[in-house]
Chain A
Amino acid sequence: GAGVSQSPSNKVTEKGKDVELRCDPISGHTALYWYRQSLGQGLEFLIYFQGNSAPDKSGLPSDRFSAERTGGSVSTLTIQRTQQEDSAVYLCASSSRGTTSTDTQYFGPGTRLTVL
C-alpha cells in the first residue's frame, strides 16, 4: 500500500522567502509528526498532530515555523522568512496512535530544504 509521501523532494529558496512543505500520511493514520534533520545529526521533533486534538507544538524552534493539518489528513509545514540555518531535511511520519496500544511511526522520504 501507499506509504507516507512528501513534496517537494528538494526545495532551494532564497533567504527571507517563505516555503511550504507538504506531507501526505498513510490513509487512516490519526497521528502525524514533523521532524527536522540537519546534516549528520539526529532527528529533531517539531510538531505532532493527533486526530482533532490541539497539536503539540513544543518542538517548533521559532514563531517563523507553523504547521496545519487539514481534514485530519494532509499536513503543511510553513517556514516564514527562511534563514540559512533552516537548511535541513524535513521529515514527516504518521502512525495509528489512538487506535493501537503502541505508536509505530512510518516516515516519508523527506524534503531537503536549502536556503541560500
Chain B
Amino acid sequence: DAKTTQPTSMDCAEGRAANLPCNHSTISGNEYVYWYRQIHSQGPQYIIHGLKNNETNEMASLIITEDRKSSTLILPHATLRDTAVYYCLSHGLGWNNYGQNFVFGPGTRLSVLP
C-alpha cells in the first residue's frame, strides 16, 4: 500500500508555477520525501528529495510542512516538456524489507497547457 497520496491529475498553464501536493501523514522521523517524474515512454527521473527543510535545485523546489505530513513540489515556470507523471515517495534507510519502501503509486499526471 502506498504511504503517500497525490491527486490523480492536474493542469498548469505554460510559464506558470506548477504546485503538486503530496500527503504522507504516516511518515516516520527518519524517512525522506522523494519526488520523481516519468515522461511518457521513459524511465522515471529523480527530481528532488528532503527530510524536513525546504529544498531547491535546478529543477524544482520542495516545501515540506513543519509537521512533515505533507509536501509540495513546485516547478516555478512550467514548460510543455514538464508534462509527465509525478511520483511522491517517502522512505528511510532501514535494511529490513528495504525494497518494500519503494511504492510508486499512480502519481499525479501533470499536463502543461500552451
If the complex has contacts A56-B98, A59-B99, are A103 and B91 also in contact, measured as CB distance less than 8 A? yes
In the complex the two chains form, is B99's CB within 8 Å of A48's CB?
Answer: yes
- Interface residue count on the B side (C-beta < 8 Å): 23
- Residue A50 lies at the interface, judged by CB distance under 8 Å to chain B: yes
**Interface residues on chain A, size class:** 20 to 34
In the complex the two chains form, is A109's CB within 8 Å of B43's CB?
Answer: yes
Per-residue CB contact flags for chain A residues 43-64 toward chain B (1 = under 8 Å, else 0) read 1111110100000101100000
Q: A105: nearest residue on chain B (CB-CB)? A: B46
In the complex the two chains form, is A102's CB within 8 Å of B104's CB?
Answer: no
If the complex has contacts A101-B93, A105-B46, are A42 and B99 also in contact, measured as CB distance less than 8 A? no
Q: A6: nearest residue on chain B (CB-CB)? A: B43
Q: B96: nearest residue on chain A (CB-CB)? A: A56
- Residue B68 lies at the interface, judged by CB distance under 8 Å to chain A: no
Per-residue CB contact flags for chain B residues 42-74 toward chain A (1 = under 8 Å, else 0) read 111110010000000000000000000000000
In the complex the two chains form, is A103's CB within 8 Å of B93's CB?
Answer: yes
If the complex has contacts A102-B93, A103-B91, are A59 and B44 also in contact, measured as CB distance less than 8 A? no
B interface residues (Cβ-Cβ under 8 A, vs A): 2, 32, 34, 36, 42-46, 49, 87, 91, 93, 97-100, 102-107
Cβ contacts A to B, 6 pairs, < 8 Å: A35-B102, A42-B105, A45-B103, A48-B98, A56-B97, A93-B44
A interface residues (Cβ-Cβ under 8 A, vs B): 4, 33, 35, 41-48, 50, 56, 58-59, 91, 93, 97, 101-110
